[in-house]
Amino acid sequence: MRVFSTFSGISAATVAWKELGWTFAGYADYDPDACAVLAARCGATTPKYHPTTDPDLMADEMYALAHRIESGHAKGAGQSRAPTRIKAPSHEKHWEMLEKERDNREHIVARRSRTTYPINGKTPNFGDIWYITDADLEELGEIDLLEGGSPCQAFSAAGSKAGLLDHRSAAMFGFIDLIERMKRINGLKWVLWENVKGVLNDDQNGFGYLLGRIATAGGAAVVPPDGRFANAGYVSGPDGDVAWRLLDAQYFGKPNRRERVYALARVGHGSAGVDPREVLFDEECEELRPEVSLRKIKATAGVPGPRAQELAGYRGPIAFMAGQSAKARSQAASTTVIPTLRSQASGTNRVPSVAYVAAADHDDGHPFNLETIDWDRLVVRELLPTECERLMGFPEGWTAVDVNGAVMTDNARYKCIGNSMSVNVMRWIGRRMTQHYKKFPL
């Protein structure tokens, strides 16, 4: 399987799939810290293309984006008009988001100017996918699978919820464009796309746009009948078949609460005989249905880190994160899983913390409780970058690469890890695909 990785970040796909014998023909990311990891761990070059910061060119991008979104609102698949829940964007909102995007890009340009790292490999990193040309794609040769998780901040409950109005999440359009061109140029067979749970009920219906365009080239957006896409589903059309499923990393061997939507699409004739539903859904789920459950085996491993004793009657450390509560659809404190790792570069709710009681010579092995805890021995600390790497399934030290002549800062490492995908989930998908290819040889 030859893979082209987009929105690569620190490339969970590489860690998950190289052990299967899959090869990576190229990457695409322009974040300076992520590019340093791609160079050190994946043999990638410096990014070929970067987003523009020219105000006039960005205004052109904004108008093109508005046209795409408004066209998508015009008609939903099988309906005379889109339902009223999909909000047509205002031009004022577009300009507001354009200003935010310009600030974001100027910040990246400043970081890029002060970031250096060794380059030893030759695998191309194309950077910004909007600028990838047909000639670039021709140089890649045959590609079996296109993978990527387009920026999720504007779909996330922790983000702006601006959906496709945010230029970062609107990069989904560039991903769709790549699919359509790579089918023609590279013989593309498969697409795997990942994003946050919030994309299932995005006001701009970005997920419906993705589904509609994969199923039918140039087609209209698929509109969910009840205003929200189910946690699992399937769409089929003349040009592709797409299955999607909400998967949580804590059910794949890591105590890390991370719900993400994975959409697997069959888009080429070379994928005949393998149904994406057979890959994404467990054997016990013979029929695709909205209420299909998550994997049943939950991670039993404790929170990684130093030795911990009983705390308030619970075994092992207690994990928590600022801003987490039942109202936020998460846990304020947990003895079994770590709250979702985030990608903020700063802020009190950036990194989960753990609390535990340090061991003492006189410990008798009995559980601690709130009445007997020696509070002077209570330790509260943030997770270390290495612990975050373990939680996401990466090898220890994956992000400890050379930047500006020293090891990348902890803040940068936290951001790179929080932006990435779960290696364990990606490995599971890859193995399932390999198993089904063996059943249906091409």
- Residue 33 lies in domain: 2-296+421-439
Residue 393 placed within a domain: no
Q: Is the pLDDT of residue 177 over 80?
A: yes
Q: Are 261 and 194 in contact (CB under 8 A)?
A: yes
Question: Does residue 365 sit in the same domain as residue 426?
Answer: no
For residue 374, what are its two tokens? Answer: 């020696």
Over residues 32-36, mean pLDDT: 97
Residue 231 pLDDT > 60: yes
Give a yes or no: residue 196 inside a domain: yes
Does position 85 have pLDDT exceeding 90, yes or no? no
Q: Are residues 352 and 427 in the same domain?
A: no
Q: Percentage of the chain with pLDDT > 90?
A: 45
* Contact in structure between 420 and 392 (CB atoms under 8 Å): yes
Q: Which two tokens stand for residue 64?
A: 């093109």
> 250 lies in a domain?
yes
Domain boundary among 383, 407, 430: 383
- DSSP state string for 276-304: HHHHHS-TT--S--TTPPPPS--------
The answer on 376 and 290 residing in a single domain is: no
What are the residues whose beta carbons fall under 8 Å from the beta carbon of 416, sequence distance 6 or more?
A: 9, 10, 31, 33, 34, 37, 343, 399, 408
Q: Which whole number is the average pLDDT over 48-61?
A: 83
Window from 85-99, 181-195, 236-250, 389-403 with minimum mean pLDDT: 85-99
Are 281 and 320 found together in one domain?
A: no
Report residue 387 as tokens: 């612990």
**Bridge-partner residues for 244, per DSSP?**
233, 263
CA distance 431 to 22: 11
- pLDDT, residue 314, reads 42
Mean pLDDT of 161-182: 75
Report the alpha-carbon distance of residue 116 to residue 364 in Å, rounded: 52
Q: Is residue 8 domain-resident?
A: yes
How is the chain split among helix, strand and coil, in percent rounded to 5?
A: 35, 20, 45
Name the band, by pLDDT with cuts 50, 70 and 90, for residue 312: very low
> Does residue 179 have a pLDDT over 90?
yes
Q: Which two tokens stand for residue 421?
A: 């995908």
> Is 219 in the same domain as 323?
no
Indicate if 273 and 340 belong to the same structural domain.
no
- Same domain, residue pair 356 and 224: no
**What was the pLDDT predicted at 69?**
59
pLDDT for 191 beyond 80: yes
- pLDDT of residue 21 exceeding 90, the answer is yes
**Weakest-pLDDT range from 145-149, 180-184, 297-301, 369-373:** 297-301
Same domain? For 280 and 336 the reply is no
291 and 346 within one domain: no
Pick the last residue of a domain from 383, 400, 431.
383
Residue written as tokens 């769409």? 235
> Is 408 part of a structural domain of the chain?
no
Query: Percent of the chain scored above 70 by pLDDT?
Result: 70
pLDDT score for 355:
80
In a domain? residue 235:
yes
The count of structural domains within the chain is 2
Same domain, 334 and 287: no
Whether residues 291 and 310 share a domain: the answer is: no
- What would the mean pLDDT of 91-115 be, rounded to a whole number? 82
pLDDT-derived band at 20 (thresholds 50, 70, 90) equals: very high
Half-sphere exposure of 260 (CA within 13 A, CB side): 34
Mean pLDDT for all residues in the chain: 79
Domain membership of residue 248 (yes or no) is yes
As to burial, measured by CB atoms within 10 angstroms (0-12 exposed, 13-18 middle, 19+ buried), residue 128 is: middle
Whether residue 409 is contained in a domain is answered as: no
Q: Which amino acid is at 324?
A: Q
- Return the closest-CA partner of residue 245 out of 55, 105, 428: 428
Give the pLDDT of residue 323: 67
Residues 265 and 331 in one domain: no
Q: What is the CATH number of the domain that holds 75?
A: 3.40.50.150
For residue 11, pLDDT beyond 90: yes
Crossing angle between the packed helical segments 32-42 and 91-113, to the nearest 10 degrees: 50
pLDDT for position 31:
94
